[in-house]
Amino acid sequence: MYKIVRKRVLNPTVSQIEVEAPLVARKARPGQFIILRVDAEGERIPLTVAGTNPLEGTVKVIFQVVGATTALLNRKEAGDSLQDFAGPLGVPTHTEGIRNVCIVGGGVGCAIALPLAEEFHRQGAKVTSIIGFRSKELLILEEEFSACSDQLTVMTDDGSYGRHGNVTVPLKEMLEAGEPFDRIITIGPMIMMKFVVAAARPFGIPVTVSMNPIMIDGTGMCGGCRLTLNRDGKRVTRFACVDGPDFDGYEVDFDEAMSRSRMYAEYERHAYEETCSLFKQA
């Protein structure tokens, strides 16, 4: 069992927990993820490592309540335990040799983007961060990004905080002004990442995207997280759990990935509603 030592509510649908997992804390690097089970009967869900404290032996994960399992997870408090907490999994994000990086995060994807911004800052790179949310109410981690960014721009779709618009607006402004980014790293909803890639394409700046497709075992055996890449004129299949989660944004077939990500949306909605009904009856 893995004890939750701290819990923090970041906004009405997003929470952060720190879990006692010393072996994971010692090995995990930015960009990697874990797979957890809330209880012995629960499903396995992947969550990206949002930070580690090797001395304390804890791992930080941030999750959004979108389905039945995350609703159950959100019922846990400090002092409670999780059944399983396996990792680190996936390939760490490449950070070496990058001196001028733009981090573009959207929504709960900012939880994945933050440890990358912190790592680049630690290595002495120039860090430009752009983070976007639907509204001020959903804003998370602004202070943390501010602490590790040379420049931070906050965007909201409804204009209730920061600048009005989506994350590609300031990105295009910076690129058109000639900002010489070595790399753009974008993490968030697939549709957002698709448009970040499109904005960067005319300037030829490398773009890394962090993919979060449906995933079950985290070892490449189930095939649920497969992605199609357009590489050297050929369509090739890769698996986000073992080959990623980072990929060259110019290669990813986003339309196929988005279609696959919606396959179980209706089932998940029913499971979430059923779980919430059980909470109300309890």
Give the pLDDT band (50/70/90) at residue 149.
Answer: very high
Largest CA distance in the chain: 58
Q: What is the pLDDT of residue 120?
A: 96
How big is the chain by its Cα radius of gyration, in Å? 18
Residue 244 has pLDDT above 90, yes or no: no
When mean pLDDT is compared across 140-154, 191-205, 267-281, the lowest value belongs to 267-281
Q: What is the mean pLDDT of residues 223-246?
A: 88
Which range, of 22-31, 200-209, 211-220, averages the lowest pLDDT? 211-220
Which pTM was predicted? Answer: 0.86
**Does 68 score more than 50 pLDDT?**
yes
**The predicted structure's pLDDT at residue 222:** 77
Query: Residue 111's closest CA among 226, 210, 4, 206?
Result: 210
- On average, the pLDDT of the chain sits at 89
Question: Residues 157, 97: contact at Cβ < 8 Å?
Answer: no
- Tokens 């990792």, located at residue: 87
Buried b (16+ CB within 10 A) or exposed e, 134-158: eeeebbbbbebbeebbeebbbbbee
Domains 2-89 and 100-261 share a fold: no
User: With pLDDT > 90 as the criterion, what percentage of the chain qualifies?
Assistant: 69
The model's pLDDT over 79-92, given as tens digits with 9 standing for 90+, comes to 999 999 998 999 99
* Residues 188-198, mean pLDDT to the nearest whole number: 94
Provide the pLDDT for residue 66.
Answer: 85
- Per DSSP, 222 falls in state S
Q: What are the sequence ranges of the domains in the chain?
A: 2-89, 100-261
Window from 47-51, 242-246, 256-260 with minimum mean pLDDT: 256-260
In this prediction, residue 119 has a pLDDT band, given cuts at 50, 70 and 90, of: very high
**100-261 — its CATH code?**
3.40.50.80
SS3 129: strand
Instruction: Check if the beta carbon of residue 51 is closer than 8 Å to that of residue 16.
Output: no
Q: What is the pLDDT of residue 263?
A: 61
**Among 167, 116, 130, 141, CA closest to 64:** 141
Least confident of 108-117, 139-148, 198-207, 258-267: 258-267
Which position has the higher pLDDT, 281 or 167? Answer: 167
Asked if 89 and 23 count as a contact pair (C-beta separation under 8 A), the reply is: no
| CATH class of this structure's domain 2-89 | mainly beta
**Contact predicate 127/117, CB 8 Å:** yes
Rounded average pLDDT over 119-125: 96
pLDDT at 265: 55
Q: Give the angle 71-77-83 at the CA atoms, nearest 5°.
A: 70
Specify the pLDDT at position 20: 97
Confidence of residue 223 (pLDDT cuts 50, 70, 90): confident
- Rounded to whole angstroms, the Cα distance separating 147 from 125 reads 14
The residue-averaged pLDDT of 177-188 equals 96
User: What is the pLDDT, as a whole number, of residue 75?
Assistant: 93
Q: Mind listing the pLDDT tens digit for each residue in 263-272?
A: 655 555 554 4
Other CB atoms within 10 A of residue 226 CB: 18
